[in-house]
């Protein structure tokens, strides 16, 4: 089930407070906090709590408060993440092209579309969506042009998997996994992605 879902009867309430609501919900909030910046995120949360301290609120009210404080369209980012089942995998081609689909442990083609905030090693943060796709792909193409390995989703701050081209996986295996090249979190992230993608049949 999605993070946000309709409850038709009181007996259904307990059934939706599970790992999806808590673990996935926390991961998505962490992703949003990193994208906005922690200070901005906390400022938006404070504004939201102050505005609704004596009122009921919906998730849209939280996105609106964060959007007003940050100047970004938070709702456009968050609604697809809270209303859809699952999460995406980003496929990165040798030419820098990026395609997304719902990650399926079975390896079947999944449906869905998510805007994906991508953190790069140089501190750049870009949004992979219809509006930002060209900028993201140009950035990745430039990284490929250096001939060196690169890793997307630095510090595993976003809730998606990344499937690199065969050539890039090889470079990551030969260089990035050497001691001192990546943080422990990023090394674990690469191993987790490779294991999950291999098990699902996305990579050999």
Lowest mean pLDDT among 9-18, 137-146, 147-156: 9-18
- Mean pLDDT computed over every residue of the chain: 91
pLDDT confidence of residue 180:
86
- The answer to whether residue 132 scores a pLDDT higher than 80 is yes
pLDDT confidence of residue 19:
72
CA distance 79 to 91: 22
Q: Mean of the pLDDT values across residues 37-56?
A: 96
Q: What is the pTM of this model?
A: 0.89
Question: Could you tell me the pLDDT band of residue 15, with boundaries at 50, 70 and 90?
Answer: low
13 compared with 137, residue with greater pLDDT: 137
* pLDDT per residue as tens digits for the range 87-100: 999 999 999 999 99
pLDDT confidence of residue 175:
86
């Amino acid at each position: 089930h999605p993070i946000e879902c309709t409850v038709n009867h009181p007996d259904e309430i307990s059934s939706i407070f599970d790992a999806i609501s808590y673990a996935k919900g926390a991961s998505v909030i962490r992703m949003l906090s990193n994208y906005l910046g922690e200070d901005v995120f906390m400022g938006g949360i404070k504004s939201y709590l102050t505005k609704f301290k004596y009122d009921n609120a919906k998730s849209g009210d939280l996105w609106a408060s964060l959007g007003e404080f940050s100047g970004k369209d938070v709702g456009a980012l968050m609604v697809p993440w809270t209303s859809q089942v699952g999460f995406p995998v980003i496929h990165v081609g040798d030419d820098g092209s990026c395609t997304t689909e719902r990650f399926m442990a079975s390896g079947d083609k999944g449906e869905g579309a998510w805007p994906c905030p991508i953190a790069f090693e140089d501190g750049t943060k870009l949004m992979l969506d219809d509006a930002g796709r060209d900028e993201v792909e140009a950035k990745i193409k430039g990284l490929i042009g250096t001939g060196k390995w690169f890793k997307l989703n630095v510090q595993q701050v976003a809730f998606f998997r990344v499937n690199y081209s065969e050539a890039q996986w090889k470079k990551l295996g030969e260089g990035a996994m050497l001691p001192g090249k990546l943080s422990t979190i990023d090394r674990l992230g690469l191993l987790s992605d490779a294991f999950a993608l291999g098990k699902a049949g996305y990579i050999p």
